[in-house]
Amino acid sequence: RKTVTIPALMAMRAAGEKIAMLTCYDASFAALMDHCGVDVLLVGDSLGNVSQGQSSTLPVTIDDMAYHTASVARGNKSAFLVTDMPFATYGTKEAAFQNAAKLMQAGAHMVKIEGGAWLAETVHFLVERGIPVFAHIGLTPQSVHILGGNRVQGKTAEGAEKLKADALALQAAGASMLLLEAIPAALGKEVTELMSIPTIGIGAGPDCSGQVLVMHDMLDVFPGKKARFVKNFMQGQDSIGGAFRAYISAVKDKSFPAPEHCF
Ligand code: KIV
Ligand code: NA
């Protein structure tokens, strides 16, 4: 298939074709996801939870992320590859640039950072220097101790207004994509309609430009408690490739997420 690029993702959004994204942490799964047609692979700092057995993403380091990015990049041929910048690696724009460069040199095509309008200057600084940025708002797990747990965000009128203002500020600063995690489905739709860049949802309703899930959740491998937005795509399949294809189909035909996966 054709290599997935930022213009290709913009064209999918414009055409109303949903973008199917999954997290990925190693070369073999990258090769299989790429072969099955996953559009975007995310080397998520969720690897702290699912791979390292940590209870949050906070212990994950830039070297951990670079190591997994290099592994995924070796297995992948044509999917678009995004890597999370981990906790405390983008506190200043200069630090963000130094750390993002490590991920780009390991094979990432874009970096993802968690936070709102306060990151606008950092987004601009990275984009000017050749590093595309995916901005992550709503439930931002690196701020778990500020949020007081993994809670649904944007439920109050004030929270929803702040989320929309953050989305617009990040887009104006040059972000190429916007991740919406754990917000009411109606707000996911509203933000998506406000934006001219693709939105990718996880627990943000069916109207985002695309969807993402953690691989270990959708394969029903992760032993912990499942979030409401998780669906087990191994059900009814006899191979992992079958589960990836079922996920892609369900995202593209808009049957996932269903109302029971939404807030
Ligand atoms: O780290 C991760 O897996 C993520 C997704 C849940 C969006 O950031
Ligand atoms: Na993450």
Average confidence (pLDDT) over 62-88:
99
Q: How confident is the model at residue 224 (pLDDT cuts 50, 70, 90)?
A: confident
CATH class (in words) of the domain with range 6-261: alpha beta
Cα 95 to averaged position of ligand 2 atoms, centre (Å)? 18
pLDDT at position 225: 86
At 84, list the tokens.
Answer: 């999370």
Sign of CA dihedral 4, 48, 66, 198: positive
Give per-residue pLDDT as tens, 132-146.
999 999 999 999 999
Q: Does 162 appear as a known binding residue? A: no
Query: Which of these is catalytic: 17, 94, 181, 260?
Result: 181
Is 111:83 a contact under the CB 8 Å cutoff? yes
181 is catalytic: yes
| Residue 114, annotated as binding a ligand | yes
- Looking at residue 263, its pLDDT comes to 97
- Write the pLDDT tens digit of every residue in 8-21: 999 999 999 999 99
Burial 77-93 (b: 16+ CB within 10 A, else e): eebbbbbbbbbebbeeb
High-pLDDT (> 70) share of the chain, %: 100
Q: Are the beta carbons of 172 and 191 closer than 8 angstroms?
A: no
94 among the known binding-site residues? Answer: no
179 alpha carbon – ligand 1 mean position (Å): 9
Cα distance between residue 246 and residue 234, in whole Å: 9
Q: What is the mean pLDDT of residues 39-61?
A: 98
Alpha-carbon distances, residue 150 vs 24, 140, 206, 220 (angstroms): 22, 8, 21, 20
H or E element that contains 250: helix 240-252
Domain ranges of the chain: 6-261
Residues with CB under 6 A from ligand 1: 23, 42, 44-46, 84, 179, 181, 202, 212, 214
Q: Give residue 47 CA to ligand 2 midpoint distance, Å.
A: 8
Among 21, 46, 139, say which to mutate for ligand 1: greatest number of ligand atoms within 8 Å of CB.
46
What one-character-per-residue DSSP string does 159-175 give?
Answer: HHHHHHHHHHHHHHHT-
